[in-house]
Amino acid sequence: MKSDKKRIGVFVCHCGINIAGTVNIPEVVKRLKEQADVIEVIDHQYCCSDPGQNLIKETIKEKKLDSVVVACCSPTLHEPTFRKTVSSVGINPYNCEIANIREQCSWVTDDKEKATDKATKIIKTIIKKVEHDEPLTPITIPVTRKALVIGAGVAGIQTALDIATAGYPVILLDKNPSIGGHMSQLSETFPTLDCSQCILTPKMVEAKQHPNITLMTYSEIESISGYLGNFKVKVRQKAKYVDWDKCTGCDVCVDKCPKKTPDEFNHGLTQRKAIYKMFPQAVPNRVVIDAPNCLYLEKGACRLCEKHCPFGAIKFDDQDQITELEVGALVMATGYELLDKQMLGSYGFGKLKNVVDGLQFERILSASGPFMGEVKRPSDGKIPEKVVFVQCAGSRDPENAMAYCSKICCMYTAKQAILYKHRVHHGEPIIFYIDVRTGGKGFEEFYKRATDEGVLYIRGKVSKIFEKGDKVIVWGADTLTGKKIEVEADLVVLSTAMKPAATKEFAQLLKLTQDEYGWFTEAHPKLRPVETLAGGFFLAGACQGPKDIPEAVAQSSGAASKVIGLFTSDTLEHLPVIAGVNEDMCSGCGICIDVCPYKARELVTTEDGKKRTVKVIEVLCEGCGACSAACPVGAAQQKNFKDQQIQDMVKGGLE
Amino acid sequence: MLELIESLQEIKKDIELLSGQTLSDCYQCGECTAGCPTAFAMEPVPSQAIRLLQLGKFNEVLNSTGIWLCASCNVCGERCPRGVDYGKIADALRTIVLRNKLTHLTLEKIDKQFISDAPQQAFIAAFRKYTT
């Protein structure tokens, strides 16, 4: 199997003293010249520098080399550099290999003699590898230039608008009947106090009107297959029982519907009908029937909506619709939820009527909320004179709930306290906090504004909340004075922790990784914050971690730009270091198919129809090598990592 | 248990009016206490005194010895990142205490000529001296 004798050049890098401080480089060069079957061995201070790269290029030309070994740092750092260097003078990049003598040698020992021996062995091993290396060409795959954005809150809307404006079609999907997400529930936004809906609804309308955006609301992902640039996604659009082409959103049906149920949009503070519109500015401005609550669909009687609809839009025989989409990239914008109050036992298990969470208080403050913007408490509609805000309810609490800081609560609590004070001038807002974290433009100034406007901050975490008469008693402490504090409040607002809205099952469906709390994991925490390790999947907004609106919007534009970058060409290159199959040896047992984590292998019949064999779907193969390890006869071989090659490498190291 | 807000908001107004300082401006960093030359003997120290006032514990501070130990050196006010001058607050607190005490001198009974002739400091000291 040994190919024709190759003309190999070896370049040994000093990396300043990083390598040369431990490895005796002149000795390594001397030994390689004596013992290895190579044309040239040269050392250089910094091979990755311009002079270093030029030395490699000149030597290749002068000595007519066809393969190169660079002994230097880890291939994760400069393999791409040197592969580009050699290809600029006509060598196939896959015939350039890195011998890692820094991370795996000089950095792990102080023993100069042993380091020198080991460096020599590592380089000899890699020389054996390049002897068998084949020239490889990247695989070209087509790209479907259409994106699917999952979740239509402010992050999803922004991502869709940016991709659509760049000229590519986008499908914007949401599980709710309307787009808008949590931002549509907010009253006003910090630190500028502009009305949330006033700044969001123009974007919602723009998304609806954009010629490149298709809205798919009331829809969920059913299954997904394919790979980067070529995904097939099955979407289930839930039965709406209303023909949206006929419905005008006039709400006559809503008025007539006799069945009431807690309103999700107002977080249970009010009731909605079984046929309903999420909120007045809903986009699309249409109604749906919530089947489990509909008297006709459940019990067979009523049909009042059908009777009164002026457009004949009610469609009781409506079915879930399955649509198959072909897209090139997916953006996750699934956002957050708040921690369930039931998790917080000492704060009343969510059973106390006058203990609400942050989003409920947003609804109470909202002009379209349960009390039309007047601050009243849920139990009796009385105006609360004393409101206690409890920060870190479930955040920064690894023992009982979430270990992380939910980041937005300091600011939204300050905002809510200010807004409460604006509505109830004589009211007393009291905020219990552990730390006030105001890292953001205009945030510290906003915190100052809260104290200026009469908000009392008490440094200490609340230990217990309970009812006494029609008051809510809050037990806390002021750790700055060391005093215990009891407040008789009329209303308590818990700044409950944010948690990811995407479930584990959803992440598994998409094969995306989550951290221990369920936030989607980015490809690199600093340098690749909007990408995932799964090619073609991007992250926007709070599905990746707690974020405020400006951060979510910025990240969404970042994710959009990655998608646009992917779509600039109609083809993609895939690394050619993948598995192959030797058909003569393959027995068609299929073991490799089961071990392949990328579904990149399939059983086929050979062209002559005589036997079963395995075929590699090249674009799916990531070159992990699982099949090569599993194949009982050695028919599955990884390109440039063939069994023969590895055996020779072991021999080279033992010489 | 501490009753949080004492019904003494009038005193808060007085303190802020007399001192020209806003109590809620203080965010409890402690720089005033850290630089205070008499803090070692003060009870409560400047930052704690302001905190107690923010919580409405006016009597606790008015009855403390700490406010009388302030040397009015103004280091606290000079260094405060939020522009709160505790020296002025302590001054206001002392004034409030003194105003609530009996003055045995009656301004009207003092000879006008004496008022204009006597050194101002001696005049003020006389008021302090005859206040119990």
Model pTM score: 0.81
How far apart CA B99 and CA A603 sit, in angstroms, is 98
- In this prediction, residues B42-57 reach a mean pLDDT of 93
Q: Is the CB of residue A200 less than 8 Å from the CB of residue A183?
A: yes
Q: State in Å, rounded, how far the first CA of chain B is from the last one.
A: 33
Q: Name which of B21, B24, B43, B47 to mutate to probe chain A: the one with the most chain A Cβ atoms within 10 A of its Cβ.
A: B24
From-to residues of CATH 3.50.50.60 in chain A = 147-333+505-567, 336-499
* Spatial distance between the Cα atoms of A624 and A627, rounded to a whole number of angstroms: 8
Which CATH architecture group holds A147-333+505-567? 3-Layer(bba) Sandwich (3.50)
Give A197-203's long-range contacts (Cβ < 8 A, gap of 24+). A197/A281, A197/A368, A200/A154, A200/A157, A201/A281, A201/A283, A203/A154, A203/A157, A203/A158, A203/A161
Q: Please, what sign has the CA dihedral across residues A633, A638, A640, A641?
A: negative
pLDDT of res. B100: 82
**What residues of chain B have any CB closer than 8 angstroms to a CB in chain A?**
1-5, 22, 24-25, 27-28, 47-48, 51-52, 54-55, 57
Angle (CA) A57 A58 A63, round 5°? 105
Do A480 and B4 lie within an 8 Å CB cutoff? no
- Examine the domain organization and report whether B107 and B96 are in the same domain: no
End-to-end CA gap in chain A? 21
pLDDT in tens, B59-73: 899 999 999 999 989
* Whether residue B116 sits in one domain with residue B77: no
User: Most B CBs within 10 Å: which of A466, A483, A484, A486, as the mutation test of the B interface?
Assistant: A483
Predicted pLDDT at B132: 66
Residue B118 maps to a domain: yes
> Is B38 within the bounds of a domain?
yes
Q: Taking the domain A336-499, which CATH number applies?
A: 3.50.50.60
Contact B55 A454 (CB under 8 A): no
Residue A90: Cβ within 10 Å count: 10
Q: Is B131 a domain residue? A: yes
Same domain, B114 and B95: no
- Is B67 found in the same domain as B33? yes
Q: Are A38 and A10 in contact (CB under 8 A)?
A: yes
CATH architecture of structural domain A578-638: 2-Layer Sandwich (3.30)
- Inter-chain CB pairs, A–B, below 8 Å: 40
**B80 and B109, same domain (yes or no):** no
- Token pair belonging to B51: 């905190």
Closest Cβ opposite residue A484 in set B1, B27, B51: B1
Quote the pLDDT of residue B3: 45
Cβ pair A460, A476 in contact under 8 A: yes
Reduced to 3 states, what is the DSSP secondary structure of residue A579? strand
What CATH number belongs to A8-137?
3.40.50
Does the beta-carbon distance from B51 to A430 stay under 8 Å? no
Q: Based on the fold, state whether residues B81 and B129 are members of the same structural domain.
A: no
- CA dist B62 and B44 (Å) reads 11
* Local confidence band at B4 (pLDDT 50, 70, 90 cut-offs): very low
> What pLDDT shows up at residue A492?
97
3-class SS string, A236-281: EECCCCECCCCCCCCCHHHHHCCCEEECCCCCCCCEEECEECCCCC
Task: Tell me how crowded residue A156 is: count the other CB atoms within 10 A of its CB.
Answer: 31
> How does residue B5 score in pLDDT terms, banded at 50, 70 and 90?
very low
Q: Say whether B24 and A430 touch across the interface (CB within 8 A).
A: no
Mutate to test the interface with A, among B2, B4, B60 (most CBs of A within 10 A): B4
- The minimal CB distance from B52 to the residues A454, A458, A481 is found for A481
pLDDT score at A27? 96
Residues B60 and B118 in one domain: no
Rounded Cα gap, residues A191 and A188, in angstroms = 9
Q: How far apart are CA A303 and CA A316, in angstroms?
A: 9
- Min CA distance, A486 vs chain B (Å)? 6
d(CA A529, CA A472): 43
User: Are A506 and A334 in contact, with CB atoms under 8 Å apart?
Assistant: yes
Is B65 found in the same domain as B130? no
Q: Which residues of A touch B25 (CB under 8 A)?
A: 448, 451-452
DSSP string across A184-196: GG-SEETTTTEEH
Structure tokens at A444: 């510290």
Domain residues for B117? 103-132
Residue of B nearest to A489 (CA): B4
- C-alpha angle A411-A417-A423 in degrees, rounded to nearest 5: 135
Measured between beta carbons, which residues in chain A are less than 8 angstroms from residue B5?
428
Total domain count for chain B? 2
How far off is chain A from B57, nearest CA to CA, in Å?
Answer: 11
Nearest to B4 among A451, A459, A485 (CB): A485
Residues A344, A350: Cα–Cα separation, whole Å: 7
Q: How close A483 gets to chain B, by Cα (Å)?
A: 7
Would you tell me the crossing angle of helices A409-423 and A358-365 to the nearest 10 degrees?
30
Asked whether A172 and A573 are in contact (CB, 8 A), the reply is no
Q: What is the arithmetic mean of pLDDT over B17-43? A: 93
B28 with B89, same domain: the answer is yes
In this structure, what are the phi and psi dihedrals at residue B62, rounded to the nearest 5 degrees? Answer: -65, -30
**CB contacts, 8 Å: B27 with chain A:** 451
Radius of gyration of chain B (CA): 17
Residue B77: name the closest of B25, B123, B5 by CA: B25
| Pairwise CB contact (< 8 Å): B4 & A486 | yes
If we measure between CA atoms, which residue out of A147, A165, A251 comes closest to residue A209? A165
DSSP-assigned letters across all residues of A58-97: HHHHHHT-SEEEEEES-HHHHHHHHHHHHHTTT--GGGEE
The predicted structure's pLDDT at residue B36: 93
Q: Give the H/E segment covering residue A594.
A: helix A591-595
Check whether residue B64 and residue B128 sit in a common domain.
Answer: no
pLDDT at residue A268 in the model:
93
Q: Does the pLDDT value for residue B2 go beyond 50?
A: no
Residue B11 pLDDT:
86
Do both B51 and B84 map to the same domain?
Answer: yes
Query: Residue B47's closest chain A neighbor by CA?
Result: A480
Q: Which of B69, B65, B88 is nearest to B78 (CA)?
A: B88
Positions in chain A short of pLDDT 50 = 1-3
List all residues 6 or more positions away from A282 whose beta carbon is below 8 Å from its beta carbon.
A177, A178, A180, A249
A649 alpha-carbon distance from chain centroid = 39
Tokens at residue A224, please?
A: 């997904």
Reported in sequence order, the residue ranges of A428-525 that DSSP labels E, i.e. its strands, are 428-433, 456-459, 464-468, 471-478, 483-489, 491-496, 498-500
CB contact under 8 A, B5 and A483: no
**Which residues are registered as beta bridge partners of B99?**
none
Please tell me the distance in Å from A354's CA to the nearest CA on chain B. 20
Within-domain flag for B3: no
What distance lies between CA A294 and its chain's CA centroid? Answer: 37
Strand locations in A183-229 (E): 188-189, 194-195, 213-216, 219-227
ipTM: 0.71
What is the reported pLDDT for A298?
Answer: 93
**Is B48 a domain residue?**
yes
